Amino acid sequence: MATLLPRSLALAENLIVKNGNKLLAASAASSIPSKQQVRHLNVHEYVSYTLLRDAGIPVPKFNIAKTKEDVVKFATELQSKDMVLKAQVLAGGRGRGTFKSGLKGGVRMVDTPELAGELASKMLGQLLVTKQTGEGGRICNMVMVTERKFPRREFYVAIMMERSFNGPVIIASSQGGVNIEDVAAENPEAITYEPIDIIKGMSDEQICRVVKKIGLQDQAESVMDMIKKMYELFLKKDALLIEINPYAEDAITGNCIQKELFDYRDITQEDPKEIEAAKFNLNYIVLDGNFNEAFKIILSDPKVSAILVNIFGGIMRCDGTKVIEARKLIAESGLRIVPRDDLDEAAALVVQLSEIVALAKKAGVEVAMSYKKGGGRGGGGGKGLCPG
């Protein structure tokens, strides 16, 4: 996570959501400089559309409905045969999800108000199961009715607070509409970075460089206006990230949310344990998936003596402002974890530790671990070694 600007002291309640469902980061100014608290919030896609629209950034026409009748009404008002019906569920993979009612797909193309109403009746009040919800699924209480766009090209544009640049930076790519972390890993040259001087602000010359690098010279004026509005929103909301993915020639999606958006919180989409933790200002994140089972399988092999865990942060750093305190906690926890920042160093060390454990087992002795004063090395902690 990027570090905060000096003006961004304390009680952090700004959030960024990617495409209406992917949480990133947050921070806002406060009158309590001695305490910093980050509150996580996930909002529905229609909130993202609303924020961008209010900032003067064009988005497709849309409306939100909670009943079949409203869906038919709003679809009729669009006066179009190209519409999209989107289940408002806080999870990724909605398009490939399946409702417990049997309906496949939480994002459906429709060409008549009647079809929109028919599909909505099978979405509303039903559980949608996606790759992110787990088998239990999540309840769909609302659907978004929006006009369908047919973009010729898709781009990625974001403004993010990044510690490696000591301030905000414009991040852009000609490869939009996909996961930007995948682009960063597979084709890093496709991403351009333009640091912004927080004192002088963003210049037209900088924006022009970005526009040229991603191949949007033919739309330079409109793109420059859009990026300027993004930066205004970035400053106004005291955000850490504002992302538009994809930025298309005739359709835009993206989002940024701030403190007042907690009014949009939909607790029916949240884990009860996370809700309870929030009452005590705790960030409790439930991690679904198969990593627990993977560790069980690995540890069931008696030949395994050490495990290398690589935490990859995509285009962002994994460490935060409390990295020193985190290392101290690890060092004093009694857990056999050795953090390293460099992957090559971590790989070499895990081999050494494995050999030590193997020799100890052969000699019939146990290996005890202790840290030198100061704990582990490095400043970011991306890799963890877990001797078995």
| 125 or 344, which is more confident | 125
- Give the bridge partners for 15, in sequence order: 257
Residue 8 has pLDDT above 70, yes or no: no
Task: Specify whether 92 is located in the same domain as 73.
Answer: yes
Q: Which pair of tokens denotes residue 27?
A: 């921070």
Task: Specify whether 143 is located in the same domain as 159.
Answer: no
Burial 257-288 (b: 16+ CB within 10 A, else e): bbbebeeeebeebbeeebeeebeeeeeeeeee
Task: Specify whether 136 is located in the same domain as 50.
Answer: yes
- The domain in which residue 126 lies consists of 45-147
Task: Specify whether 66 is located in the same domain as 135.
Answer: yes
Flag whether the pTM goes above 0.85.
no
Q: How confident is the model at residue 207 (pLDDT cuts 50, 70, 90)?
A: very high
Torsion of the alpha carbons at 295, 297, 298 and 302, rounded to the nearest 10: 130
Task: Specify whether 71 is located in the same domain as 140.
Answer: yes
The DSSP 8-state label assigned to residue 145 in this structure reads E
Burial 70-84 (b: 16+ CB within 10 A, else e): bbbbbbeebeeeebb
Chosen domain end from 147, 175, 192: 147
| 137 or 280, which is more confident | 137
- 196 belongs to a structural domain: yes
The DSSP 8-state label assigned to residue 75 in this structure reads H
Q: How confident is the model at residue 70 (pLDDT cuts 50, 70, 90)?
A: very high
Share of the chain above pLDDT 90, in %: 27
Residue of 7, 108, 18, 13 whose CA lies nearest to 315:
18
Q: Let me know: does 95 contact 69? Beta carbons within 8 Å.
A: no
Q: Which pair of tokens denotes residue 303?
A: 């030949």
Task: Specify whether 223 is located in the same domain as 173.
Answer: yes
Q: Let me know: does 340 contact 346? Beta carbons within 8 Å.
A: yes
Q: What is the DSSP string of 304-338?
A: --EEEEE---TTS-S--TTHHHHHHHHHHS----E
Chosen domain end from 250, 272, 307: 250
In the chain, the number of structural domains is 3
Averaged pLDDT for residues 277-288: 64
Q: Which residues lie below 8 Å from residue 180, measured CB to CB, with a gap of 6+?
A: 156, 158, 171, 173, 191, 243, 245, 314, 315
Backbone angles phi, psi at 108, to 5 degrees: -125, 140
| 75 or 340, which is more confident | 75
- 12 belongs to a structural domain: no
Residue 26 has pLDDT above 70, yes or no: no
- 227 belongs to a structural domain: yes
Q: What is the pLDDT of residue 67?
A: 96
Ramachandran bin of 202, using left for φ above 0, alpha for ψ from -120 to 50, beta for the remaining angles:
beta
Task: Specify whether 310 is located in the same domain as 350.
Answer: yes
